[in-house]
Each structure stands twice: as C-alpha cells, then as structure tokens.
C-alpha cells in the first residue's frame, strides 16, 4: 500500500461563546485543519490539527513530496523523515507529523479491520472520563448569551454542564483576571459542588509566591493537582515543595527531554499528554510508559479539538493504564462537528471510545464543506490576542489582568 495524495481543508466551527484564556481568546470559533491521506487501495485516513486560530494548509501541502509513495505503515520512518530532532531545530514539524500519524493509523486500522486501540495494545476501558473544563467567556456576539465573568455565572454554567453531561470533575481555565478574583470564583465552585473534584489552570501566569498563596487557600477542596500555576520545571518544583500538593503540567513537559528533567527534579506528579503537542498517539503512549515506571500519573490534554482529534484522545485514554485523572476537552463548548452523527455524546461525564475500524469516525461532507466556506468568509484569528483588549499582551508572570467589570 502506498500514499498517493493528500487533501487539506481548513474549517472554522462555532463555539457557544468566545473562550478567554491567559494569553488571549478563542474568538467564538475553532479553526482546524483537516487532513485526508489517500492510498492506492482506495483507503483514506483522517487527521486534524489546530494552529492557534490559523490554517496549516500550506504546511501540509509542503510535505506532499515527503509522503507520496510512502507506506502508511511506515509511521516510525515518517517520524524521522518529517521531524528529525536535529532538523527540527530549524523546522519544527512535530504537531504537523501528529496529524499525519493520526491519518496513517486510521488507514492501518481500516486496512486490518480493527480499531486504532487494537494497534496500540488493546483497550483497557470502554469510555474515558472528562472534566467540565470551564472558561471565562465573552457573550456570543450574535445573541448575547453565554457570558461567564463572575462567580454566579460560573457556578450556573457548571451546574448546567453537570446536568447535561454528568461531570464530577471541574477544571477552571484562569489567568484572565487577577488571582484574588479568580480565587473567589474557584472557591464558589467548591461550595457549589462539595463532593466533586477540581483543578485550576492559570497557564503559568502566577509567580511562585502567588501560586503558593492560591494553593493554600484551596487546600480544603478535592484538588487533583496544581496545573501550570507558575512557569518552568523549577518553578513547579518550588510550588510542590512549599505546598506538599500534587502538581500537573501540559506546558513545561511536552517532550522527552523535559520529562526526564522533571523526573530528576521531582517537580511534576501528573503529565497531561496531548496527542498533537507530543507528536501523535504513539509518542504519548511512550511517555505514559516512562511515567508509569516512575509512578507519575498521566491525563489527556485538550488543545481544542473536533471529532477527529477527539477520537485520538479517546483511543489514547483507552490504552494507558496510569490514566489517573479525568481528561480535558473543549468539546462541549462546540455547537457542531464535521463528523457523521454530529457531536459525540457525554454519558455520566464520559465519552465512549469509538469501536469502528481505524479512528472510528467519518467525515460528514456537507458539514466539512459548510465550515470550510465559513472559514473562507471569516478567515483565521490570532489566538494570542484578546478581541476586546486591543494592544494588550500578557507577561509571565503576569500583572496585566483583565478588568473585572
């Protein structure tokens, strides 16, 4: 079997409302680049990649000479061909390769008539638990709905998600407002759901001192881990030592060299594995194996997914034994998807692992075309800009907080 062509389509899919984060915002929609790798046997594999609000169309098309004529089974060879670690000093293609790996695994599963999880050792769970993943949100510009700015709105939103999806773990994306105000919001969640578990992620915008103060104020809650409170492996190490609380990251441990350093420093207790950031599902499984050896927990990170990437996250979650916490997903903020059947369903806070051949999802051509046209109409957006704060940018640690009112 040989790769004969690749098709690239950029789509933008609406969110319920713009999602605010420490560096800017998702401007009311996700921009995702969809990859279709075709073979001489008529089997097509699907991949997906983000890009901070921008298209990766040209990056994928530039790799056509690397892929045409290759076997989709040669995923390890393609990894070195596309993102050799030395060459990557000049042209880091790790995230681009991840989408290619997704598509190749999809092809292999379809060829062999098995789900991707069977290519990865077989599933040990049928569904994957997710956290509610809460954001401060601007109102939807079309209808004015969906704003989350104060403790009351935050609790109301979390209650709605818990009723509809069954979440029992709640993650708040912070780093938007000053930490004292966000602490009030986070404590309100704890009061509203005393039996549930929690985590707070300010995207490393806090100083070590601010991080310690915040951590001590929430110590009475059921906290999974302190996620990226402050920047750097050494910063997280200081936080861990000063609070005696578990730490987690998807920011300062995103490759094997950083994983090695964090283990030597005993800085991180839970590594959030992202199938894009780490360069594919297979690299995430390798990292999970290293973590298992050193009794480090893992979770599944979300970088803003549609159904294709969500499928990769579910297959990953199905096969790793040391999945110690509920996974992240932006998915419940979406209004639609580009896969057949529409948005995958949550049941009791979990999503079932697709059992079809390959990744187990198929493109809805009408939806793909609809949201490709929407992208042509609206274009991309800068992920690291806030549409309502022109000229603003964040520092690390930050002191340029958004006004509360």
Outline where DSSP puts E strands in 245-284. Answer: 247-249, 270-273
Collapsed DSSP state (helix, strand, coil) of residue 299: strand
* CATH number for the domain whose boundaries are 121-352: 3.20.20.120
| Ramachandran quadrant class, 232 (left: phi over 0; alpha: psi -120 to 50; beta: rest) | left
Show pLDDT as tens, one digit a residue, over the chain (405 residues).
Answer: 999 999 999 999 999 999 999 999 999 999 999 999 999 999 999 999 998 899 999 999 999 999 999 999 999 999 999 999 888 888 889 999 999 999 999 999 999 999 999 999 999 999 999 999 999 999 999 999 999 999 999 999 999 999 999 999 999 999 999 999 999 999 999 999 999 999 999 999 999 999 999 999 999 999 999 999 999 999 999 999 999 999 999 999 999 999 999 999 999 999 999 999 999 999 999 999 999 999 999 999 999 999 999 999 999 999 999 999 999 999 999 999 999 999 999 999 999 999 999 999 999 999 999 999 999 999 999 999 999 999 999 999 999 999 998
- Torsion (CA) 116, 117, 118, 119 in degrees, nearest 10: 60
Q: Which of 145, 151, 53, 91 is nearest to 384 (CA)?
A: 53
Query: Domain limits of the chain?
Result: 3-118+364-378, 121-352
- CA–CA dist 324, 321 (Å, integer): 8
- CA–CA dist 360, 354 (Å, integer): 5
- CA–CA dist 20, 384 (Å, integer): 10
Q: Which of 227, 23, 29 is nearest to 146 (CA)?
A: 29
Query: Counting Cβ atoms within 10 Å, is residue 213 exposed (0-12), middle (13-18) or buried (19+)?
Result: middle
Collapsed DSSP state (helix, strand, coil) of residue 66: helix
CATH 1.10.10.10 given to domain 3-118+364-378: no
- CA–CA dist 310, 329 (Å, integer): 8
- Torsion (CA) 66, 70, 72, 76 in degrees, nearest 10: -70
């Amino acid at each position: 079997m040989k790769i004969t062509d690749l098709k690239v389509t950029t789509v933008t899919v609406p969110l319920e409302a713009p999602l605010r984060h420490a560096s800017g915002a998702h401007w009311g929609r996700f921009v995702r680049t969809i990859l279709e790798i075709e073979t001489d046997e008529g089997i097509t594999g699907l991949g997906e990649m983000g890009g901070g609000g921008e298209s990766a169309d040209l990056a994928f098309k530039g790799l056509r000479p690397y892929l045409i004529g290759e076997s989709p089974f040669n995923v390890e060879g393609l990894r070195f061909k596309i993102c050799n670690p030395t060459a990557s000093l000049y042209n880091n293609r790790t995230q681009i390769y991840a989408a290619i790996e997704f598509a190749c695994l999809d092809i292999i599963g379809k060829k062999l008539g098995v789900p991707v999880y069977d290519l990865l050792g077989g599933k040990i769970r049928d569904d994957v638990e997710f956290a509610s993943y809460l954001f401060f949100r601007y109102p939807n510009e079309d209808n004015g709905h969906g704003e989350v700015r104060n403790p009351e709105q935050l609790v109301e939103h979390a209650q709605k998600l818990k009723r509809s999806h069954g979440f029992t773990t709640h993650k708040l994306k912070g780093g938007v407002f000053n930490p004292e105000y966000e602490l009030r919001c986070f404590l309100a969640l704890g009061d509203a759901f005393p039996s549930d578990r929690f985590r707070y992620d300010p995207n490393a915008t806090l100083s070590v001192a601010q991080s310690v103060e915040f951590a001590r104020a929430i110590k009475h809650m059921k906290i999974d881990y302190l996620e990226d409170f402050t920047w750097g492996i050494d910063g997280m190490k200081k936080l861990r030592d000063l609070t005696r609380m578990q730490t987690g990251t998807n920011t300062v441990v995103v490759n094997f060299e950083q994983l090695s350093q964090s283990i030597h420093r005993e800085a991180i207790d839970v590594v959030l594995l992202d199938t894009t950031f780490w360069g594919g599902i297979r690299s995430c499984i390798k990292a999970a194996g290293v973590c298992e050896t050193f009794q480090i927990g893992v979770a599944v990170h979300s970088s803003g997914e549609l159904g294709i990437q969500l499928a990769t996250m579910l297959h990953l979650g199905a096969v790793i034994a040391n999945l110690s916490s509920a996974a992240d997903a932006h998915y419940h903020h979406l209004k639609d998807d580009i896969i057949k059947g529409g948005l995958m369903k949550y049941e009791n806070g979990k999503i079932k692992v697709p059992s079809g051949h390959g990744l187990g999802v198929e493109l809805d051509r009408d939806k793909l075309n609809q949201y490709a046209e929407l992208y042509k109409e609206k274009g991309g957006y800068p992920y690291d800009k806030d549409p309502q704060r022109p000229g603003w940018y964040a520092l690390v640690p930050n002191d340029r907080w958004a006004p509360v009112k």
